[in-house]
Amino acid sequence: MTQSSNDNDKLMAQIRQGLTQYCGSMLTHTGYEGAPARQIVASTLVEEAMKLATDSGEDGTTQVDEIYVAKPILRATVIILQKRVAGLIKLATESADDNLQQKLYPQISNYNKAIKVIKSLVDSVGERKVENTDESGD
């Protein structure tokens, strides 16, 4: 790894730390607490992430230009759904209420179907070779 790469890694870590502080500030100033505040911040971040994955078409409409760029959003969705499934399974297995179990198992099945579809979409998008954009020659 070149010195330039180390410097770039340090800069990216500092930028990420700044983003984390920015998110904390947003949480504090949403006017909400708990899950509603976190949802507002998450929504803002996803909106900004979508801007990275969209482009204006020749007809002026906005379209998803690079599904590859959106892969992290899809992967995060899979992780969230998997955690939801784990929670529902735990609730169903710990519950003595047969009615609750009968309601939960179809939900679990639907979540698992969604996970499978999203994973398939992610897997269908090829990997891209990361090229060094550092033009310093280091």
The model's pTM is 0.73
Q: What is the pLDDT of residue 136?
A: 44
- 132 Cβ contact partners less than 8 Å away, ≥ 6 residues apart: 5
Query: Is there a contact between 69 and 125 (Cβ–Cβ < 8 Å)?
Result: no
| Dihedral sign, Cα of residue 47, residue 51, residue 56, residue 57 | negative
- pLDDT single digits (tens) 14-51: 999 999 999 999 999 999 999 999 999 999 999 988 88
Band of pLDDT at residue 128, cut at 50, 70 and 90: low
How far, in whole angstroms, is CA 37 from its chain's centroid? 17
Q: How confident is the model at residue 60 (pLDDT cuts 50, 70, 90)?
A: low
Picking from 16, 125, 129, 122, the residue whose alpha carbon sits closest to that of residue 76 is 122
**CA–CA–CA angle 36, 80, 9 (5° rounding):** 95
The residue count for the chain: 138
Is residue 89 over pLDDT 90?
A: yes
- Residue 132 vs residues 64, 99, 125: alpha-carbon distances, Å: 25, 57, 21
How far apart (Å, rounded) are the C-alpha atoms in residues 70 and 81? 17
